[in-house]
Each structure stands twice: as structure tokens, then as C-alpha cells.
Amino acid sequence: MKMKIALFLGLLLITNVSFADLKIGFVNIPAVLEKAPQAEKAKKRLEQEFSPRDKQLVAQQKEIQSMDDRIAKDSAVMGASERTNMERDILNKKRDAKRAQQEFSEDFNVRRNEELGKLQNRIVEVIRGIAKDQSYDLLLTDGVIYASDQIDVTAQVQQKLAALPN
């Protein structure tokens, strides 16, 4: 982290920009995500979308549990073939339930990531808008979200890299 700060300060000096002229800001993205109303709406959409499947999974688990309880309680009075058939049925239901749980988790994660991606894109748009409207030269988060053309040294870095031997 100290290395990044030193590099940043060095780049500022190279570009002949005085510190007094810079307007730098910071955005705490986790705090924004935590308090964004869009995040709460996305959470509610996901709950609505996945609630029926979650209830179905819970019902499957209850059915399997009641079958396990029944076989444990009645195995002594069951015939061998009836017990074998029930054990096979329980095994098949457990396998189906496990598969359904995995599909549910995968589908939920995909949708959650979609919603999070949409929200993050919106946040970046807002940050960039604020940066431009309020004449920020640099806004930082975990990485740089916006840098004004005045302090952008990307072209210089590209030129130097192009001049280096391969």
C-alpha cells in the first residue's frame, strides 16, 4: 500500500501538477452498498424470486426426514423387501434433494451476482458524475474510479513501455 502511495505521489510530481490545485476524494464502496436503497430492493426481488423454490426444498427435507423416522421406527415390523424398497426410495429422494439444492444455490448465486453487478455499475456511474460535476481530479476507492485528464499519465506510460525492448 505504501508503495502505491509513493508511486502515485511520484507520478503527480512528474506531471507538474501542484498539490494545491488537486481535488481528491475517496468513496467507501462497501458503505455505499450497505446503505443503497437499490441493494434492499434487489434483496427483496431475490427473496420473491427464490422463496417458492426454497419452500419446496424445505418440504423435500421434511419428507425425507419423516421417511427416515418411519423406517427407524417401523423397520422391525417391515418385511425385508418393503424395508429395502423404502431405503432405496429414501436414497433416491436424498439424491434428488441434494441435486435440487445445488441447482438452487447455483441459480441464486448467478442472480445475486447479476443484481450486484447492476448496482455496482450504477454506483460507478454516480461516482463519475459527481467527480465531473464537482471537478474532482481524482476519486479513489480500492482502485481508481475516476482520474481527470490533467493527471492521467496513461499515454506516457504506454509510450515508455513501447520504447522498452521486448
pLDDT at position 19 is 57
What is the mean pLDDT of the segment spanning 88-100? 96
In the numeric block, the cell 436424498 is attached to 94
For residues 33 and 123, the answer to whether their CB atoms sit within 8 Å is yes
DSSP reduced 3-state for 25:
strand
What is the mean pLDDT of the segment spanning 132-138? 86
What is the mean pLDDT of the segment spanning 62-75? 91
pLDDT at position 148 is 73
Indicate if the pLDDT at residue 45 is higher than 90. Answer: yes
Strand 24-26's sheet: what is its strand order? 24-26, 138-140, 144-147
What is the mean pLDDT of the segment spanning 37-53? 92
Rounded Cα distance, 147 and 151, in Å? 7
For residues 136 and 130, the answer to whether their CB atoms sit within 8 Å is yes
Torsion of CA 117, 119, 121, 125, to 10 degrees: 180
